[in-house]
Amino acid sequence: MSKKIDMSKFEKKMIIRNIEPADFDDIIEMSKVCFPNMEPWEREHLQSHVDIFPEGQFCVEYDGEIIGSCSSLIINFDEYDDQHTWDEITDNGYITNHDYEGYNLYGIEVMVHPEYRRMKIGHRLYEARKDLARELNLKSIIIGGRIPNYFKFAKEMTPRKYVEEVTMHNIYDPVLTFQVMNGFTMKRINPNYLEDDRASLRYATLMEWNNIDYRPTIPKRQFKTSFPVRITTIQYAMKKISSFEDFAIQCEYYTDVAASYHSDFAVFPEIFTLQLLSFLPEKSPSLAIRRLTEFTEDYIELFTNLAIKYNVNIIGGSHFVEEEGKIYNIAYLFRRDGTIEKQYKLHITPNERKFWGISGGNHVNVFDTDCGKIAIQICYDIEFPELARIAVDKGANIIFTPFCTDDRQGYLRVRYCSQARAIENQVYTVLSGTVGNLTDVENMDIQYAQSGIFSPSDFTFARDGIVGECQANIETVVVGDVDLEILRRNRRAGSVNQLRDRRHDIYSINYKQ
């Protein structure tokens, strides 16, 4: 009697999925094999793709090996010149010009490992793109395609004639023939498209696949004349209290003030929970901080309830939290729907390290809210420009900075850097600081603050780039509106455009997480 055949030993597994950071090395090596005479992808490019538009980056995994990949971004093609180059349409390969509100998926690269060609790997990747275009209700897919066999015919015919011959199937071109077979139609021929594409003599075909399922009557995007977001930033008084309930009353008062002005965000300062130490007898700073961490759950419960009760998103200042034996300075986002996020302070000041033994976090986070994407960078962190640039590349429109400084010099470091980040990154920034005194709390002797809301510097914003600011060193709030639609337009057509004009060809930021 014959044995039952084990079918599993014959099975092969092919998966089409989104690219992950663990795939980067394989994709870079594959690009060297697929395009030996062209510059390969760098990790910074691929990381930027995954950070900005992860759903638009696909790879084919065959029995655990990456054998094909493609990258894309969304644009509004009407905003670009028909004679654009690859560098212009991709922001030098980093796709930081990706526009979720655009109407066209733009394919910037497809590659299949030579050992696995004629297995319809490229076709599978193109189908994945088409499915994505249908899912996102995009009008079309546009590609700037190479014509890598043109160099063989350049002496005999013009690029246009070559394209016509390939389209009529009289000449085979591995890229253009493939694109025609996949339903793409010719729009035009672009010269000087890809600088190192010598085989195509730098020519490229601009081609388009139209999504016949596109539904213009379904409002996929809402273009607004304005998108105002109201912010109340709180200049919080550090004064002696007798209990956690006293602290809660003070916090609820300011949350109520923010809600009474119909604010979308209420912003509290850095480590303002140190006020709780004013009723604890511990004098040693390091031991007092351990005592303070015992209030973490009470603090989280308080602000979660306040955010829901008053229907306002709360940047809950920051609080010292113990995790696995270490103390971290953590800023929490309490959304008005009851969900919670947190951002660890990354750069620890000498004072925090010396007196309290604070450890630094490792991640730059960007959070989704009902008012767009935001980031939180605690005090000292705003003085490191790389962090703001990473956050904005991840989509942040507002950077909140809770801070605590003891003198004017320290405050001005935070303020000047916050305003610089607003200009450099075409983003709104917000400061919230502490004032007053805690005379019986060690290492919290004096406070200096002038909280404020800042904008980029251009005609469409406040004259001095100041949306609003408190008077220095008094207990108060400032309320201001920032407009995300004006910000979006400024990033497209401002007097200057710091984001688009970056020289990725000579410098980049390598975010290692």
Single-letter amino acid, residue 53 = F
CA pseudo-torsion sign 57, 43, 21, 400:
negative
Of the candidates 59, 345, 352, 371, the residue annotated as catalytic is: 345
- Residue whose entry in the numeric block shows the structure tokens 């919670």: 340
Cβ 329 vs Cβ 345: under 8 Å = yes
Of the candidates 379, 404, 417, 470, the residue annotated as catalytic is: 379
List the structure tokens of 198: 């010598």
Helices 408-425 and 385-393 sit at what angle, rounded to 10 degrees? Answer: 40
Of the candidates 270, 352, 383, 469, the residue annotated as catalytic is: 270
- Residue whose entry in the numeric block shows the structure tokens 């005379």: 439
345 is catalytic: yes
270 is catalytic: yes
Single-letter amino acid, residue 233 = T
Cβ neighbours of 462 (radius 10 Å):
16
Of 147, 159, 146, 42, which is closest to residue 92 (Cα–Cα)? 42
Buried b (16+ CB within 10 A) or exposed e, 334-372: bbbeeeebbbbbbbbbeebeebbebbbbeebbbbebebb
DSSP readout, 364-389?
---EEEBTEEEEE--GGGGG-HHHHH
Looking at the DSSP bridge assignments, the partners of residue 145 are: 205
CA–CA distance from 482 to each of 161, 225, 230, 333 (Å)? Answer: 53, 13, 6, 19
379 is catalytic: yes
List the structure tokens of 141: 């897919």
Single-letter amino acid, residue 278 = S
Angle made by CA atoms 64, 106, 491, in degrees to the nearest 5? 120
Catalogue the active-site residues. Answer: 270, 345, 379
